[in-house]
Structure 1
Amino acid sequence: MNDFSQSQHHFLLRTELNQTTMEAAENDSVVLETTEPSSSHGSDGDDHLRQSSDVLAKGLSSMLSSVISDFDFRAQQTLQSQNHLSSVIDRLTGELDQLLEDAPLPFIMQQAAKISSVRKRVSSLNLLLKSIQGRIDNIDRMLSIGPTHGFKRNS
């Protein structure tokens, strides 16, 4: 790399290093503390590039962690809501079954079939939601391990 393109490269690096904040979801923000490179020659430049990459990786990891935590919280609330809905539908199905035993009218049987269909769909959605929750937990676990875990760095 010639001196001119190397100085352009280091100027871009300095510009990236001077960035101090990144906006995350809603009112959350991530602050990146950076240092200005003191020299632009040799392996010192590589160290600064590696340092800026690490800072950027940590900032992105922090931002993604907050987004995933928010999504995880909302998925947990949805799961609780789905479980409550499922229990209410179970109770209603039981009451309708009792009503069918007492007075088997065609209208009541039709409504019971609709409720039974809704119950099956809610159960299916609960299974899907639990699967998604498991995937989110895996992503969260991978983020908590760290961005450089398992990756070899070329030196």
Structure 2
Amino acid sequence: METSTNTHYTSPDENDTVFVQTEPSSSRAGDNSSETDNSGDSLTKSSDLLAKGLSSILSTVIRDFDFRAQQTLMSQNHLSSSIDRLTGELDQLLEDAPLPFIMQHAAKISSVRKRVLSLNSLLKSIQGRIDNIDRIMSIGTTHEKAATEGSG
């Protein structure tokens, strides 16, 4: 008796498709040791294929998050430079006309600037962590390929 199972998964961004197929197994009456070996090999191969599929999916998701984090970081850098420019202009304005109204708004803008710089620092830290996870997954995938090619 032969069985084969196919599983199809398409990632959320529709760019990567993963197919997982278990190897066909056959059973013969009276040959229990062969059946156990085939079942173990088939199960191992299925597990390996499933692990590779999950790794591929996770890599895609991490790359997507990495791209979005990069875009956010660029946006934060642009915002930070705009706030720096505005702060410089306000400092010049304060030197020319030190009114209480202007000083109150300058203090608010300075507070916003500090929060943006803090958020920018946090985003850089998150970006570093995502890069580390991506690098670790890439190394793991490379090692799995080398082990599979070496044993096959």
- Secondary structure (helix, strand or coil) at the match of 1:146 reads helix
Match of 1:116 in 2: 110
Q: Where in structure 2 are the equivalents of 1:1-155 lying within 5 Å? A: 14=4, 17-19=5-7, 21-40=8-27, 41-146=35-140
- Secondary structure (helix, strand or coil) at the match of 2:137 reads helix
Judge conservation of contact 1:93–1:116 (CA < 8 Å) in 2.
yes
Q: Give ranges in structure 1 of 5+ residues lacking alignment.
A: 1-9, 151-155
Residue-by-residue CA offset, 1:50-90 (whole Å, 9 max, x unaligned): 10001001111111111111111110011011001001100
- Secondary structure (helix, strand or coil) at the match of 1:32 reads strand
Q: Give ranges in structure 2 of 5+ residues lacking alignment.
A: 28-34, 145-152
TM-score (norm 2): 0.81
% identical equivalent positions:
71
Distance 1:107 1:86, change over 3 A: same
Judge conservation of contact 1:18–1:36 (CA < 8 Å) in 2.
no
Runs of 4+ in 1 over 6 A off after TM superposition: none
TM-score (norm 1): 0.80
Cα distance in 2 for partners of 1:27, 1:135 equals 25
Aligned residues between the structures:
137
Judge conservation of contact 2:10–2:16 (CA < 8 Å) in 1.
yes
Residue-by-residue CA offset, 1:82-118 (whole Å, 9 max, x unaligned): 0010011001001100100110001100000000000
Cα distance in 1 for partners of 2:72, 2:105 equals 26
